[in-house]
């Protein structure tokens, strides 16, 4: 059996441009006017937790830009996912998208992220942090910033007590990890029709044939893209209504907005498409300058893609569970597959 | 329509149903009442929201309230658009919708507000638009028993109906930053700004009370269906009430009879 749980301290040395506690977001909060929030790239956040034997919904750290460095006096088990980046433990390069055994007196650096916007860092165990409406995800507007700064000491409760492989400094786990590709300079994002697609004559052809570029005005509320748009015609005033994550809005100006997880919950702009649920994690990684095109799919294809994404996560989760069980590493015993955000 | 039901009176849903459910992406449905007056569609969608939150159909994740619609977010691996739409129609048909008005189990709040030049920058505009005095605007607000219809952005209580003699328009240019506690009106609705932020609503006063505090559990004392009366209080009361968390007993009006 894994060792008893103990509490240790993670000392944050460098805090990137922005680092926050993060998880998959709030459940049932939107009925109360609070956006679900949570990791922009839910796939990477989920995989990081799965790789350290945590429930997918455990709190981790979301890192954007620059260098993030921490030290630990005791051994910890971590995983880093998200945009390709350089990760080192005591100066030695280690792999992303794998469990990483950090020895006592370890120094971990995550830097030079490229091709995407965010990295996710998970620790085996639970990080000690505040929760608001059941989630560690930031809600800055309501006074819950959750930002992590250099010099901060973060407490971790973990049953991991170190793991020594007889021959290798880092054991090879060979897990079936679904790693998204960040290589292509132009991303293809799957979309389904929206209520005002037909009213915007020509938008179908534009979205599937032209290139759109993410601009610097983008944030966690939504991505703003440069590219050709047409304004829907013949619509009366659209009264405020709820808008899902991934809605493609055309505001008054010539731009396209793709709403993110911290969107304002209601809006009155025409909606010409929706990103599929399975394509949202990639959108959560888009940086200013990122180019993308769109591909129309049917609702059935959209659901099928989400099925496949979840199947891969479930397969990884059960492999980690049997592996960690076999080599006596702590793991969260999964009761039912989470139907939540991921 | 002249058949506006009295509060608490039951009307069978068949009178107001005709529920429209449109896919909004692969994991949401936009649900609204397809017929009836604006008021009927608004109260109908509020009742529908209560029914859904009460029965929580399989696969339901969350519900976002709009002015006259609800966005129903669901797990697309658990249920399809068609199945969920059918469940919603059945759920609605199997229940009688209560008439418009406050929830029978609702609480009542009296919310003090202070009105001065800096707290009520739009009061003169509202008075001019309605063709009445500033005092009359406030008198109409104070005389209205408002029902909280939904919690809007950041848990802001959106309330109706203010007994104004007409509709109040929104600001032509939305303000970029309005202070928390601001009491605002648009149409015949009122809302209180819980946190600093932008808004296009007209600001006619400010409450010294804190209406939402994430350190409280729950962060607001009120919920949809509760009722509210506003009470204009002298500026000298501000200091005593400043920052207190709004509860049903935060401020009491002496019995008037």
Which domains, and CATH codes, for chain B? 10-98 (3.30.1360.40), 108-241 (2.40.100.10)
CA distance A237 to chain B (A): 13
Q: Considering CB atoms only, which of B25, B66, B81 is closest to A240?
A: B66
Angle at B91 between CA B85 and CA B93, to 5 degrees: 105
Confidence band of B8 (pLDDT split at 50, 70, 90) = very low
Hey, is A86 helix, strand or coil? Answer: strand
Give pLDDT, residue A174.
85
Q: Considering CB atoms only, which of A27, A242, A302 is closest to B26?
A: A302
Give pLDDT, residue A243.
95
Residue A291 and residue A211 in contact, taking contact as beta carbons nearer than 8 Å = yes
Hey, is A260 helix, strand or coil? Answer: coil
**Residues, chain A, total?**
342
Using a CB-CB distance cutoff of 8 angstroms, which residues of chain B are in contact with residue A221? Answer: none
Q: Please tell me the distance from the alpha carbon of residue B102 to that of residue B125, in angstroms, as a whole number.
A: 30
Q: Please tell me the distance from the alpha carbon of residue A50 to that of residue B22, in angstroms, as a whole number.
A: 35
DSSP A181-201: P---SEEEEEEEE-TTTTTST
Sign (positive or negative) of CA dihedral B157, B159, B164, B165: positive
Confidence band of B17 (pLDDT split at 50, 70, 90) = low
Backbone angles phi, psi at B67, to 5 degrees: -60, -50
Residue A336 and residue B106 in contact, taking contact as beta carbons nearer than 8 Å = no
The structure tokens listed for A222 are 């939504």
Sequence-distant (≥ 6) Cβ neighbours of residue B10 within 8 angstroms: B96, B97, B98, B99
Residue A60 and residue A136 in contact, taking contact as beta carbons nearer than 8 Å = no
CB proximity B79 to A under 8 Å: no
Residue A224 and residue A214 in contact, taking contact as beta carbons nearer than 8 Å = yes
Closest by Cα among B209, B158, B210 to B187: B158
CB proximity B153 to A under 8 Å: yes
Write the ipTM.
0.93
Q: Please tell me the distance from the alpha carbon of residue A53 to that of residue A126, in angstroms, as a whole number.
A: 11
Hey, is A292 helix, strand or coil? Answer: strand
Binary contact (B73, A30; C-beta < 8 A)? yes
Using a CB-CB distance cutoff of 8 angstroms, which residues of chain A are in contact with residue B150? Answer: 33
Give pLDDT, residue B200.
85
Q: What is the 3-state secondary structure (H, E, C) of B48-75?
A: HHHHHHHHCCCCEEEEEECCCCEEEEEC
Using a CB-CB distance cutoff of 8 angstroms, which residues of chain A are in contact with residue B64? Answer: 30-31, 242-243, 265-266
Give pLDDT, residue A168.
60
Q: Please tell me the distance from the alpha carbon of residue A235 to that of residue A89, in angstroms, as a whole number.
A: 57
DSSP B148-194: EEEEEGGGEEEEE----SSPBPPPSS-EEEE-TTEEEEEBTEEEE--
Residue B152 and residue A266 in contact, taking contact as beta carbons nearer than 8 Å = yes
Locus of tokens 């269906």: B225
According to the per-residue pLDDT averaged within each range, which of A302-306, B3-7, B148-152 is highest?
A: A302-306
Closest by Cα among A235, A178, A174 to A42: A178
Confidence band of B11 (pLDDT split at 50, 70, 90) = very low
Residue B143 and residue B190 in contact, taking contact as beta carbons nearer than 8 Å = no
Question: From A271, which residue of chain B is nearest by alpha-carbon distance?
Answer: B24
The structure tokens listed for B227 are 């009722």
pLDDT tens digits along A94-110: 999 999 999 999 999 99
Task: Delineate the domains of chain A, giving CATH numbers in brackets.
Answer: 6-180+315-326 (no CATH), 186-297 (2.40.100.10)
Sequence-distant (≥ 6) Cβ neighbours of residue A143 within 8 angstroms: B195, B214
Q: Please tell me the distance from the alpha carbon of residue A23 to that of residue A138, in angstroms, as a whole number.
A: 9
Q: Please tell me the distance from the alpha carbon of residue A320 to that of residue A99, in angstroms, as a whole number.
A: 10
Largest CA distance in chain B: 59
Q: What is the pLDDT along chain A (342 residues), one digit of tens a residue?
A: 556 899 999 999 999 999 999 999 999 999 999 999 999 999 999 999 999 999 999 999 999 999 999 999 999 999 999 999 999 999 999 999 999 999 999 999 999 999 999 999 999 999 999 999 999 999 999 999 999 999 999 999 999 998 876 666 666 778 999 999 999 999 999 999 999 999 999 999 999 999 999 999 998 889 999 999 999 888 877 788 999 999 999 987 889 999 999 998 887 789 999 999 999 999 999 999 999 999 999 999 999 999 999 999 999 999 999 999 988 899 986 544 444 444
Binary contact (A339, B66; C-beta < 8 A)? no
Binary contact (B26, A33; C-beta < 8 A)? no
Using a CB-CB distance cutoff of 8 angstroms, which residues of chain B are in contact with residue A141? Answer: 154, 195, 197
Which comes out higher in pLDDT, residue B6 or B175? B175
């Amino acid at each position: 059996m894994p060792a008893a749980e103990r509490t240790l301290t993670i000392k944050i040395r460098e805090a990137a441009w922005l680092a926050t506690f993060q998880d998959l977001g709030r459940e049932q909060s939107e009925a109360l006017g609070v956006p679900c929030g949570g990791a922009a790239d839910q796939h990477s956040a989920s995989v990081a937790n799965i790789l350290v034997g945590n429930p997918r919904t455990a709190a981790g750290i979301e890192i954007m830009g620059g260098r993030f460095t921490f030290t630990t006096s005791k051994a910890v088990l971590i995983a880093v996912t998200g945009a390709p980046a350089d990760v080192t433990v005591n100066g030695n390069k280690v792999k992303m998208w794998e469990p990483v055994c950090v020895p006592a007196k370890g120094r971990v650096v995550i830097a030079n992220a490229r091709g995407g916007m965010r990295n996710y860092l998970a620790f085996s165990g639970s990080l000690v942090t505040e929760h608001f409406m059941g989630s560690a995800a930031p809600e800055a507007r309501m006074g819950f910033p959750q930002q992590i700064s250099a010099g901060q000491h973060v407490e971790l409760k973990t049953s991991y007590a170190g793991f020594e492989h007889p021959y290798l400094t880092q054991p090879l786990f060979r897990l079936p990890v679904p790693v998204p590709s960040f290589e292509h300079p132009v991303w293809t994002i799957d979309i389904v029709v929206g209520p005002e697609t037909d009213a915007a004559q020509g938008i179908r052809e534009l979205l599937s044939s032209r290139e759109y570029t993410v601009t610097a005005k983008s944030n966690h509320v939504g991505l703003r893209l440069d590219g050709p748009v047409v304004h829907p015609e013949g619509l009366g005033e659209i009264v405020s209504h709820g808008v899902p994550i991934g809605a493609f809005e055309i505001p008054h100006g010539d731009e396209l907005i793709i709403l993110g997880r911290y969107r304002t919950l209601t809006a009155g702009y025409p909606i010409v498409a929706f990103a599929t649920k399975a394509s949202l994690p990639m959108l959560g990684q888009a940086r200013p300058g990122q180019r993308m095109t769109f591909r129309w799919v049917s609702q059935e294809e959209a659901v099928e893609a989400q099925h496949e994404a979840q199947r891969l996560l479930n397969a990884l989760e059960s492999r980690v569970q049997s592996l960690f069980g076999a080599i006596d590493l702590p793991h969260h015993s999964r009761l039912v597959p989470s139907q939540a955000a991921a | 329509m002249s058949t506006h039901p009295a509060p608490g009176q039951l009307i069978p849903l068949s009178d107001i149903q005709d529920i429209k459910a449109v896919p909004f992406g692969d994991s949401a449905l936009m649900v609204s009442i397809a017929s009836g007056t604006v008021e009927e569609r608004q109260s109908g969608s509020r009742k529908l929201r209560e029914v859904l939150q009460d029965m929580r159909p399989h696969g339901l994740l969350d519900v976002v309230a709009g002015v006259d619609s609800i966005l129903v977010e669901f797990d697309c691996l658990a249920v399809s658009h068609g199945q969920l739409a059918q469940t919603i129609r059945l759920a609605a048909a199997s229940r009688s919708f209560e008439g418009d008005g406050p929830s029978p189990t609702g609480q009542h709040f009296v919310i003090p507000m202070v009105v001065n030049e800096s707290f009520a920058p739009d009061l003169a505009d509202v008075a001019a638009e309605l063709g009445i005095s500033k005092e009359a605007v406030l008198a109409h607000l104070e005389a209205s028993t408002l029902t909280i219809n939904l919690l809007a952005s950041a848990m802001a209580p959106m309330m109706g109906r203010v007994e104004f003699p007409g509709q109040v328009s929104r600001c032509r240019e939305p303000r970029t930053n309005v202070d928390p506690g601001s009491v605002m009106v648009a149409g015949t609705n009122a809302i209180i700004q819980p946190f600093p932020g932008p808004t296009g609503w007209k600001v006619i006063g400010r409450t010294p009370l804190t209406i939402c505090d994430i350190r409280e559990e729950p962060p607001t004392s009120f919920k949809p269906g509760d009722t509210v009366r506003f009470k204009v209080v002298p500026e000298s009361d501000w200091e005593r009430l400043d920052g207190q968390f709004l509860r049903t007993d935060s401020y009491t009006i002496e019995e008037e009879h």
